[in-house]
Structure 1
Amino acid sequence: MKKVLFVLTVLFAFSGFAQNDSKRMDHFNLEKNVAIQGYDPVAYFKQGKAVKGKKEITALHEGVVYYFSMPVNKDYFLKNSSKFEPQYGGWCAFAMGDSNEKVSINPETFKIKNGKLYLFYNAFFNNTLKSWNQNESGLMMKADVNWNKIVN
């Protein structure tokens, strides 16, 4: 009987993880399960710029695939994934704060603030990073609230 209970407990635990992974994947800005359009999340912090990752250097974190430009960046990521993941599931930070919308991003338009990565839409003469910078603290507070409503 103890073995049966143990097996059932393990199965329920794993199904919970699978549901969490699925929920994250439903809300993250992904293309074929890959985050940030294949850009290296660590490069934003370590190199100060957007760098395209390589399909050969990948890591899976809670259902989301990340590409890296070099193995050392993958190692950094695996040691502290939450530090390097983009805010708001990789959606445009401005749109999340301004209108509670999931808007695509240009991975080369970003900002690091308080050790966190924020990504922005930038196309057709509309660079939302400029708008974000005009009211960053207010938009950030709204975006945090809006994102928590989406994922919880």
Structure 2
Amino acid sequence: MNRLLLVLIATALIFTTTAWASEPPVYTGLLSNTGAGGYDTVSYFETGKPTKGSSDFTTQWQGANWRFANAENLARFEANPERYAPAYGGYCAWAVSQGYLAKGDPKHWNIRNGRLYLNYNQSVQDKWLDDADGFIRQADANWPKVLD
């Protein structure tokens, strides 16, 4: 077989295999294993703004690496990850409400009833904010079925 044909077969197998596999419970991107894009999820609650985490303060949870700005935030997350991790594993909350998955961008966020929600971009977040409570109900009904 020639090299091009082997590459095409290998590519087809990769895409076929990943199409049948369920998605991971935490969005990390294609070339990363870091939740929330490396942002310190505790910082949203503590300072009201996203802060980049450091590789010096890292933990693993639900198959992803999570970074924090300091040891105190790392300890808070480790004591209660469900409180600080973004809803729907950091996937776009609006997309989950619509029944599909899309990346969540840690720069487009909202805290509602003590939960952190990420959205794909600013225009999606604007749409989300028009009826966040309704979209949360829809997303809760779709989660985690959308991972399959």
TM range (shorter): 0.7 to 0.9
- Where does residue 116 of structure 1 map in the other structure? 115
Q: Which residue of 1 aligns with 2:85?
A: 85
Cα-to-partner distance string for 1:55-111 (whole Å, 9 max, x where unaligned):
1110111322100011110011111111001001101111111x2121112211101
State the match for 1:141 in structure 2: 137
Once residues 117 and 86 of structure 1 are traced to their aligned partners in structure 2, the CA distance between those partners, rounded to angstroms, is 5
Q: Percent sequence identity over matched residues?
A: 32
**Match in the other structure for 1:105:** 104
Q: Aligned AA for 1:26?
A: P
- The secondary structure found in structure 2 opposite 1:29 is coil
Whole-angstrom CA distance in 2 between matches of 1:25 and 1:70:
30
* Correspondence for 2:55: 55
* Unmatched runs of 5 consecutive residues or more in structure 2: 1-20
Tell me the SS of whatever aligns to 1:27. Answer: coil
- The count of aligned residue pairs is 126
Measured after TM superposition, the shift of residue 127 of structure 1 is 2.0
Which residue identity lines up with residue 30 of structure 1 in the other structure?
T
Q: Normalising by structure 1, report the TM-score.
A: 0.76
In the TM superposition, residue 43 of structure 1 has moved relative to its aligned partner by: 0.4
Aligned CA distance change for structure 1 residues 147 and 78 (closer, same or farther; 3 Å): same
The runs of 4+ residues in structure 1 deviating greater than 3 Å are: none
Deviations 1:86-143 (A, max 9, x none): 001101111111x212111221110111110000111xxx521111111222211110
Distance 2:88 2:62 in 1: 15
Residue 24 (structure 1) shift: 9.3
**Is the partner of 2:96 in helix, strand or coil?**
helix
Structure 1 gap ranges (5+): 1-22
Q: Which residue of 1 aligns with 2:24?
A: 26
